[in-house]
Chain A
Amino acid sequence: MNTVAVIDYGMGNLRSVCKAIEHVAPAARVTLTSDPEEVRRAERVVFPGQGAIAGCVAALVESGLRDTLLQTMRIKPFLGICLGLQALYDFSEEGGGTPGLGILRGQVRRFPVEKMTDPETGRVLKVPHMGWNQVHQMTPHPLWNGIPQDARFYFVHSYYVDSADPSCVTGATGYAVRFTSAAAHENIFAVQFHPEKSQKAGLRLLENFMTWDGGS
């Protein structure tokens, strides 16, 4: 049976993620869990990330999930969502500076308020970056199957990923700066947007994940 563990360390709303996966893969068994053993047993892992990054990384360490995650990320199809993308990088500016898991090279930065101007209207671009923006697919990937180039996904975030390794950037989005909206590395795929809230395009991405073997 296709089993997927959705990492939950008790910071709130993951219902939508689970329901969206169940919707696209009705035969799969979706488990919301903070138990390292359960994560090890599952065939695939979804890491949505919740709350602020410092709390997220601390909760992973406390629950013993950090090491399990680092292990499983190397061997199973892994999907990070929102903070679950940001936490993969070396360092985040959030919370006065927080080290991340250091799987991917790069920094997580706050949208620079002084540069947040719409080039066309001259008006201020609001932060959080909230709503439907385009994702430009930089490289082909099984998770993009059936999703049109520059499709819109739903975003809500105030920090963005500034990748140091362009080879891991598989999706890019512009909002005052051009940032990494999707990263891919071996069996890791991680996105800044919320596929579970991105209607058809998002559901397709989740469906692709549920049939992905982790290869490229």
Chain B
Amino acid sequence: MGLAKRIIPCLDVDNGRVVKGVRFVDIRDGGDPVEVARRYDEQGADEVTFLDITASSDNRDTMVHVVEAMASEVFIPLTVGGGIRNNEDVRRMLNAGADKVAINTAAVRNPDFVKQAADHFGGQCIVVAIDAKQVAGAESPRWEIYTHGGRKPTGIDAVEWAVKMTEYGAGEILLTSMDRDGTRDGFDLALTRAVCDAVGIPVIASGGVGNLDHLVAGILEGHADAVLAASIFHFGEYTVGQAKQRMAECGIEVRL
């Protein structure tokens, strides 16, 4: 017995509201991130991630308030990502009650930002988010990272980037397969394994989960330390508890 593999429900938040809402039968307000997070906490989620897709900085203040409200009521770890550009953004989110911040585009634009943030706040609260897409026609499989919510190719190799970010002090990698995101076909296991085996820090697999066996495969075949999913939980298809039960049946250590 030892460290449990984690299940992390993820919410997209726009101007303080959950995008598309969450459809549990018995929830009062499926658009309120705090209420949804509380439900996931009750179901046994190990952490919660909020991705702020808000475009304007005015609305970002709203996100700070959401994080504050969450931290007053839900006592499990919270990661906040989206639009984190500098140490001040990191500070605001951590002071509001976030445990970790996820940095994506800003890390690619200025890798030293990751180093500075890790030095200042401690690497354990700096998550580097990587959006990766398989390079078509490559002889052996390889993946390129994209920024700006997956719109801009960078030419940077995903595995090399993950290793570099580890050296820069990141405490965790949030790895999303753009090829799989939204498909419900399961994680890109080759990508997940390539990154997980290349770095000494924990990796969260993301993108493509359509059923509980996909979560199991992410751990057993992808070698992930944690699995992140959105839609399978949001639409009430499965609870986090059911996901953990299934993982436990497959011999994965989870917090039940």
Contact = CB atoms under 8 A, between A and B. Distances in A.
A13 B99 contact: yes
Tell me the interface secondary structure of chain A in the complex.
mixed
B122 A52 contact: yes
B71 A15 contact: yes
Given A133-B3, A157-B124, A16 B200 contact: no
Contacts of B2: 118, 133-134, 174-175
B72 A19 contact: yes
A103 interface: no
Interface residues of A, number: 41
Q: How large is the interface on B (under 10, 10 to 19, 20 to 34, 35 or more residues)?
A: 35 or more
Contacts of A118: 2
Interface in B41-89: 41, 46, 68, 71-73, 75-77
Interface stretch (B14-22, B90-98, B135-143, B209-217): B90-98
A129 B96 CA distance: 24
Contact of B200 (A113, A155, A174): A113
B248 interface: no
A127 B75 contact: no
B200 A124 contact: yes
Contacts of A128: 123-124, 171-172, 201-202
Q: Which of the listed residues B96, B121, B223 has the most CB atoms from chain A within 10 Å of its own CB?
A: B121
Contacts of A51: 121-122
Given A13-B98, A15-B68, A199-B41, A132 B6 contact: yes
Given A12-B121, A15-B68, 18 more contacts: A13-B94, A13-B125, A16-B99, A19-B97, A118-B2, A123-B223, A124-B200, A126-B225, A127-B200, A128-B201, A131-B3, A132-B4, A132-B46, A134-B1, A152-B255, A156-B99, A196-B75, A199-B75
Interface of B: 1-6, 41, 46, 68, 71-73, 75-77, 91, 94-99, 121-125, 171-172, 197, 199-203, 223, 225-226, 255
**Nearest 6 A/B pairs, CB to CB:** A13-B94, A132-B255, A15-B97, A126-B202, A19-B72, A132-B4
22 contacts: A13-B97, A13-B125, A19-B73, A19-B97, A22-B72, A51-B121, A118-B2, A126-B203, A127-B200, A127-B201, A128-B171, A130-B171, A130-B202, A132-B46, A150-B1, A152-B255, A196-B75, A197-B75, A197-B99, A198-B76, A199-B41, A202-B75
Interface of A: 12-13, 15-16, 19-20, 22-23, 51-52, 113, 116, 118, 123-134, 150, 152, 154-158, 174-175, 194, 196-199, 202-203
